[in-house]
A and B are shown apart, each in its own frame.
Chain A
Amino acid sequence: MNALFLQLLEKRVRLESERPQALEAMAALFACCEPHAHVDLTLSIGDRADANGRLWFDVNPTPADAFAGMETEKPLAPLSLARTLCAWAARCTTATYVFHGAAMALEQRGLLVIGESGCGKTTLTLSLLQRGWSFYSDEVAALRLADASMVPFARRPVVRCDVWPHKVMGPFPDLPLEPAPLPHEQPAAPCDPVRLGAAPLQPETVPVCLVFPRFSAGEMLTVQKLDQGSALLAMMAASCSQPVFKVRGLDFVIDLVQRLPAYLLTYGHADEAAAELKHLVGDVAL
């Protein structure tokens, strides 16, 4: 595990339960944090492993006084806390660039699906996982600045009740036909990507394609190639970070949009979009 991360973990982050496996999962996210970054959190970490032995963590809210230095008046919902942690990690790191987006790969050809909440990232993610893509994230796409390789975000895809997989793509063998009822205040639930069909992660996978989705139910599929300027503006807008981080990473983002094709994907059916994405990613010459 990264030495800096250990230092950060021991000195800056107080864990409710120090489970080595969970810490490794956390390390996947915070591996590049600088030791001087200050945070005082109490985290409750679940270290349940999936069918392939891969570990995942769930970040649970704790009382407000545990979040010293963070602007929270009440305990954060898990998803909000995860985003807060991602933004914090992005501010701390000097080695990764973080976007608000999904990241997946097909046979080491990475795909970044970038956009705001509600644009269809999770719907696409679920559809691609069912087709055997590897899962890196459905919410936070992190790339190493050194080689642009994709960093897996050790949080399971969060699926909204209204887009529960069997409603979108048909029943899954390992999932109940009817999901367990969720409390009204918890409109989403984490799912094991392996059970959803995800393939194992491959090391040194780099993105070969950028996609900015727009979901509109029932709409016909259209794919529009984006110019580099439009892609750059969209990626800067989706960057989960502070301005100083964007300044530092601007050259990295410019290099990405110069090297990778970018598309605006409007879709109304996830299966059509998934088939198109397979073509887009497969057509890129490595």
Chain B
Amino acid sequence: MSVSLEKPLIRADLVFRELEGCFVVYDPVCDTTALLNVQAAAVLDYCDGANSAADIAAELAEVFAVPAASLVATVNAALADFAAKGWLQPLPAPPCS
């Protein structure tokens, strides 16, 4: 099962905490700790499996008061980075009909 960047979903076991204007991400599988700035953390926070990259860009545009179009590339780049780090998980399979 591949990771979806269309509707990205953060891994459930990833630990996500705030720290002095940035955010801590601890990955217990790789045993690595990373720091995210607020923008990157906001993108990760919206990775709930329901929002698309465009949805996330729109949400961030409202929060940061900038045009959504200017954020799409940034959001996509962040999602690709999160996927490369293994922070996203595959979407659950749809229920059988």
Residues of A participating in the B interface, judged by any CB pair closer than 8 Å:
227-229, 232-233, 236-237, 243-244, 246-247, 250-251, 254, 257-258
Contacts and interface: CB of A to CB of B under 8 A. Distances in A.
Given A232-B24, A236-B26, A246 B19 contact: no
A232 B33 contact: yes
B33 A254 contact: no
Contact of A233 (B17, B20, B28, B35): B35
Nearest to B30: A243
Contact of B33 (A227, A228, A236, A251): A236
A229 B20 contact: yes
Q: Looking at chain B's contact residues, is the secondary structure mostly helix, strand, loop, or mixed? A: strand
B19 A229 contact: yes
Interface of B: 15, 17, 19-20, 22, 24, 26, 28-29, 31, 33, 35
A229 B19 CA distance: 7
Given A233-B33, A233-B35, A250 B20 contact: no
Contact of B20 (A228, A236, A237, A246): A228
A257 B18 CA distance: 12
Given A232-B33, A233-B35, A250 B26 contact: yes
Given A229-B20, A250-B17, A258-B20, 19 more contacts: A227-B20, A228-B20, A229-B22, A229-B24, A232-B19, A232-B24, A232-B33, A233-B33, A233-B35, A237-B33, A243-B29, A243-B31, A246-B33, A247-B26, A247-B28, A254-B17, A254-B19, A254-B24, A257-B19
